[in-house]
Amino acid sequence: MKTKFSVRDFSLLLSLVAVWAFFAVTSPQYLSARNLSALSVELAITATLALGMLLVILPGHIDLSVGSGVGLVGGIAAVLVFNHGWPAPLAFLPAIAVALLVWLAQGALIVRQRIPAFIITLGGLLILKGVFWLVIDTHTVPVAPGGRPNLFSLLTTYYLPPLASYVVIAIVMAALVAVTLRARARRAAMGFEVDDPELAFLKLFLTGQGLLLFVLAVNQFRGIPLPVLALGLVALAIQVITRHTPFGRHLYAIGGNEEAAFVSGVPVQRVVIGAYVLLGGIVAITGLLQTAYAGAATTTVGDSMELDAIAACVIGGTSLRGGRGTVLGVIFGALIMASLLNGMTLLAVSPELKFIARGVVLTLAVWMDVKLARR
């Protein structure tokens, strides 16, 4: 069987084009190489966290503590580097370990004590925020002592050289084509639906064009920022986990019908706890990137990032009830969110209006999720 072309397949792309067109007209520098490079870093940070959120939303859970966790992880690393003179790579290890342990504990409480994820992670939001402020003593802690670059500061200031950027994109496209062809062949052999060949080609073609345009744009500035490579690796890992492992299939099964999954032999508790631990690892990565991007650990690092992550997932087609969501959809959702915030910053929109805009986008995304679920 073949799936037919539908405008819905490109609805996110059309929405993104509309957003970019609006800001390109109202703020000509929006499409400049420098701003697109900055936008790619903001996208990478938001999308990385959103991909972690996808892992816990798929089985029907949620996490409101990731924003505070982002601040705490970056704060621990910054304090160890700036106040105690630790080398940056060594400082990363305890920060990452704390994130893994915290999310292991939250996942265990949620599934073993049968406490709603909303309550546990709301408590986590408050606790982690308080601990974060204690760690940095409510001061600004730079990531680079004396302003000298280190691995911490280079996380968001290093750029891949232009030639290397083209090589990376060529490898990515070759991998996408190979994976797409292999997946189509396997699905067809099992009698599952596959995209119409023209639609599959169009998706790959548009993806390739988008990646090429991105590289051409950022190479006019300094090249591909390191956070974009980090996002690519995280996205690849989540794609493999969710689509090509029993663990990933269990995530979808639990979100679709937890009781049926349990009766079928799915280790529900272990899978959900595993999802939270993986989220903790991704929170650690995001925390290091976000703190490096800010240049210092401050009390505002990570604020409201949980909302942006949830909005990116829902905009990208992930169901808050669980059982539905894709890596590509989440990345597109994060791109729309990052594009909106970046454009509003260029237009010097006041912080209060930014909060309103983000709230409206999140509300509309959830409303769309509810409407589509009723069809």
Q: What is the CATH number for 248?
A: 1.10.3470
Q: Which two tokens stand for residue 375?
A: 């069809």
Angle at 308 between CA 324 and CA 117, to 5 degrees: 60
Residues 283, 263: Cα–Cα separation, whole Å: 32
In a domain, 207, yes or no: no
Q: Which two tokens stand for residue 329?
A: 């959809």
Average pLDDT, 10 consecutive residues per value, the chain (375 residues): 47 82 90 91 96 96 96 97 94 97 96 93 96 95 87 92 89 86 80 76 83 88 92 92 92 93 93 97 97 95 92 90 90 92 91 86 75 60
Find the domain containing 300 and state its range.
Answer: 2-161+223-373
Q: Which two tokens stand for residue 13?
A: 């792309």
Residues 48, 230: Cα–Cα separation, whole Å: 8
Q: What's the pLDDT score for residue 372?
A: 61
Q: What's the pLDDT score for residue 99?
A: 97
Tell me the pTM: 0.91
In a domain, 93, yes or no: yes
End-to-end distance of the chain based on CA atoms, in angstroms? 22
In a domain, 205, yes or no: no
Q: What's the pLDDT score for residue 17?
A: 86
Number of domains in the chain: 1
Query: What residues have CB less than 8 Å from 242, skipping those under 6 apart?
Result: 54, 55, 58, 248, 251, 252, 327
In a domain, 206, yes or no: no
| Helical spans, DSSP H, in 295-350 | 305-315, 327-346
Residues 3, 56: Cα–Cα separation, whole Å: 29
pLDDT in tens, 101-154: 999 999 999 999 999 999 999 999 999 999 999 999 999 999 988 778 899 999
In a domain, 216, yes or no: no
Q: What's the pLDDT score for residue 10?
A: 63
In a domain, 25, yes or no: yes
In a domain, 6, yes or no: yes
Q: Which two tokens stand for residue 62?
A: 């949620």
Q: What's the pLDDT score for residue 6?
A: 44
In a domain, 169, yes or no: no
